[in-house]
Every structure is written in C-alpha cells, then in structure tokens.
Amino acid sequence: MKKIFSIVLCFSLSLLLPSCKRKKLTEVVEVPLPSAEEKITIGQPDDVSAIDGQFSLVKLPYEYNALSPSIDILTMEMHYSKHYLTYTNNLNKLVAEDPTLIDLSIEDILKKCDGTNADLKNNAGGYYNHGLFWEGMSPKSGGQPKDTLASLITRDFGSFEVFKTQFSDAADKQFGSGWAWLVVDKTGKLQVTSTPNQDNPLMPKQIVSGTPLLNLDVWEHAYYLDYQYKRKRYIDNFFKIINWKKVSERYEEATAKK
C-alpha cells in the first residue's frame, strides 16, 4: 500500500518537480501465480461424503455447474462440499454424544431446538435447510407452479406475482444471514416468512410456524462469489431455477400427513 502511495505521490510531484525519478512509474509489480496446491479444482458432488453417523448428505440432484448462470459452479461446490458437509458432520458428532437424539428424524430433532442448545440448533438447522434447498432447485425449471399449488398461491397471496414479491422481499430484507421460506401452516394456509441464521419454521418459538415447501439461502456464502453485494439480483435469478414440481410434492406430503 505504501508503495502504491509513494508511486502516486511521485507521479504527482513529478508533474511539478522534474527531478523526481520518473522511471519508478514503469516498475512492474509481480503477481505470483497460484502454486499447484492453491490451484482451484472443482470436484464432483459424489466425491463428498459425511463422517459415519445418523445423517448422510442429501445427494445433489445435479452437477455443480447445472444451475449456472443463476448459481455459479464455484459457489455450488464450496457450498455443498464445505459448508453443508460441515453442518452434517457437526450434527452427526452432536447426535452421537446425546442419547436422547439417537434414532430421531431430523424433523423431530428440529422440534427440540428451542435455543437451549445453540450448537444443536445451528447444525441441525444447517443440515435440514440445505438439504431442502438443494432439492428445491433444478436446471431448466423456474416459471410458475401448476395445478393445485398454483391455485393455492392465488388463493392465499392473490396472485403469483404478489407471492413472488413477498418471497423476494423476505429474502432481501432478512438482515444478515438467514433464509426465506414458503411454508404451509397447520391450517393449510401458505405463508411466506424469513428466519435468521440456520433457524427454520419447524423449530419452536418462530414467528411463522409450518412445514417448509421452499427456501432460499441468503447467507453471503450462498451468493457472494458471483453477486457480491447484489443480493436482489441473486434472488431474481433464483426464480429461474425453482423446482416447482418438487415444491408441489412437498405440499402433497405435508397435507397428506394431516
């Protein structure tokens, strides 16, 4: 930084003082090339596996590059093979240490996440939220939902466009890290909400409770490499890759249980 400053200063002074050594302006600043170890290599989703335990990774139903240009290959690889893997491994370690969690489904574990165990809440949430997120997206999808889900969105929001605006606002206005959600509540009504951190609408003490149908990760790690601060553009492009068929299946499953 000092060097840049002195070059700029020298250049400025050189305009006034001919004695200043102009040759410094032509100095070449060498930028080291990445070493072999630092070279970026993109693996395959199938190369990633969690430590042995109660929970395994949700298989990514497409390649890392499949959602481009909405989500770039490097973001997908880092997100799945690093962030998601870490939540999964941490959850498996926590479950192994706590006999009250053995053999519980992830949904039942989430229902116990009232905040008294922050580690469990963060990692169980991180595991569930990302698994839902991967399967809620698909290449060559987007558009609008069909049939039952389409009419329910019109019934509960007024129109698809109103729903889209509400969901986008929830994602955009979530302060800091968190998620936007479309849920079906216990009365069968669709609702949009957002949660901070790795919280989700299955956990106790949430503003909106319900069964998640669709979610969007707005942690910076989900978009920053490609979009930097432009979260809104990331949200707009997410709508091009929503797997509405999967969202409809989730609605059918959630309401069939009741």
**Chain contacts with Mn ion (rule: CB under 5 A):** 217, 219, 222
Provide, rounded to whole angstroms, the least separation between the CB of residue 239 and Mn ion: 18
Name residues whose C-beta falls within 8 Å of residue 254's C-beta, 6 or more positions apart in sequence.
184, 211, 213
Residue 240: what residue type? K
Nearer to Mn ion, 55 or 219 (CB): 219
154 versus 197: smaller Cβ distance to Mn ion:
197
Q: Which is nearer to Mn ion, 80 or 251 (CB)?
A: 80
Based on CB atoms, which residue is closest to Mn ion, 67 or 152? 67
What phi and psi values does residue 7 have, to the nearest 5 degrees?
Answer: -65, -45
In the bound complex, what is the minimum distance in angstroms from residue 58's beta carbon to Mn ion?
13
Closest approach of Mn ion to the CB of residue 17, in Å: 55
How far apart are CB 218 and Mn ion at their closest, in Å?
9
Please state, in angstroms and rounded to a whole number, the distance separating the CA atoms of residues 231 and 199.
20
Give whichever of 146 and 221 is closer to Mn ion, judged by the CB atom: 221
* Shortest distance in whole angstroms from residue 79 CB to Mn ion: 6
Residue nearest to Mn ion (CB): 217
Q: How far is the CB of 73 from Mn ion (least distance, A)?
A: 16
* C-alpha separations of 72 from 40, 49, 146, 231 in Å: 14, 22, 28, 14
Beta strands at 190-196 and 178-184: parallel, antiparallel or unpaired:
antiparallel
Q: How many CB atoms lie within 10 A of CB 134?
A: 22
Please, are residues 198 and 129 in contact by the beta-carbon 8 Å criterion? yes
CA dist., res. 43 & res. 120, Å (int): 29
Nearest to Mn ion of 101, 218 (CB atom)? 218
Give me the least distance between CB of 219 and Mn ion, in Å please: 5
Nearer to Mn ion, 127 or 219 (CB): 219
DSSP assignments along 38-89, one per residue: TS-----GGG--PPSSS--PPPPSS-TTTTTTTS-HHHHHHIIIIIIHHHHH
Q: Give residue 150's identity as a one-letter amino acid code.
A: A
Strand order in the sheet with 190-196: 190-196, 178-184, 211-217
